């Protein structure tokens, strides 16, 4: 198992992995290759971004993308995306990717890791197992274009 930094050279591996993860159950999204490429490249292009792909025998099995940010209380790492190929879920790759993220945070003197997930899907329980707790004082809000 090896961790590789996400670059423009391996973005296609990340896109394929993203599509396999999110276009299948339980998410059942309808990402196209074009939109997934734009989305992941936008995340990767942030000046404070960090992204890694986890490979097993030259097969991309998981990825994490996020960005560092400064808040008045501490430095934070916002996990924007975290996904494992459906073929490799429940085999310890998510755990390994989470450990790699924690190593990155420790190396960069970051105090807090933050993420958003759907509490009605299995990812919620995965994050709870790794010590993430809901922030009851915050809510996710949006406004649809009228």
Specify the CATH number for the domain of residue 14.
3.40.630.30
Backbone φ, ψ for residue 68 (5° rounding)? -85, 145
**139 in a structural domain:** no
Angle value at C-alpha 8, between 126 and 78, nearest 5 degrees: 35
User: What's the token pair of residue 111?
Assistant: 């105090």
**18 in a structural domain:** yes
**141 in a structural domain:** no
What residues are paired with 40 via a beta bridge? none
Backbone φ, ψ for residue 47 (5° rounding)? -65, -20
Q: Which of 1-5, 23-27, 103-107, 129-133 has the lowest mean pLDDT?
A: 129-133
**Over residues 98-118, mean pLDDT:** 92
Counting the structural domains of the chain, the total is 1
d(CA 27, CA 25): 5
Rounded to two decimals, the pTM is 0.88
Where does the pLDDT of residue 19 fall: very low under 50, low under 70, confident under 90, or very high at 90 and above? very high
Where does the pLDDT of residue 96 fall: very low under 50, low under 70, confident under 90, or very high at 90 and above? very high
* CB-based contact 64:42 (threshold 8 Å): no
For residue 99, give its domain range.
2-129
**60 in a structural domain:** yes
**62 in a structural domain:** yes
Residue-level pLDDT at 140: 73
**134 in a structural domain:** no
Sheet holding 49-56, edge to edge: 2-5, 49-56, 59-70, 75-84, 112-115
Strands 2-5 and 49-56: antiparallel
Is the pLDDT at 38 greater than 90? The verdict is yes
- Tokens 């420790």 correspond to what residue? 106
Where does the pLDDT of residue 132 fall: very low under 50, low under 70, confident under 90, or very high at 90 and above? confident
Is the pLDDT at 37 greater than 90? The verdict is yes
**Over residues 23-44, mean pLDDT:** 95
**143 in a structural domain:** no
């Amino acid at each position: 198992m090896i961790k590789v930094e996400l670059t423009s050279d391996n973005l296609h591996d990340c896109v394929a992995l993203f599509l396999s993860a999110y276009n299948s159950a339980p998410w059942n999204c309808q990402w196209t290759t074009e939109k997934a490429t734009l989305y992941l490249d936008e995340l990767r292009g942030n000046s404070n971004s960090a992204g890694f792909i986890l490979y097993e025998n030259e097969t991309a099995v998981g990825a994490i993308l996020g960005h560092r940010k400064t808040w008045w209380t501490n430095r934070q790492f916002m996990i924007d995306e975290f996904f494992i190929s459906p073929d490799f879920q429940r085999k310890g790759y998510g755990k390994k990717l989470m450990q790699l993220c924690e190593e990155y945070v420790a190396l960069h003197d970051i105090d807090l890791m933050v993420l958003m997930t759907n509490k009605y899907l299995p990812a919620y329980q995965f994050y709870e197992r790794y010590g993430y707790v809901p922030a009851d004082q915050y809510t996710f809000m949006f406004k649809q274009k009228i």
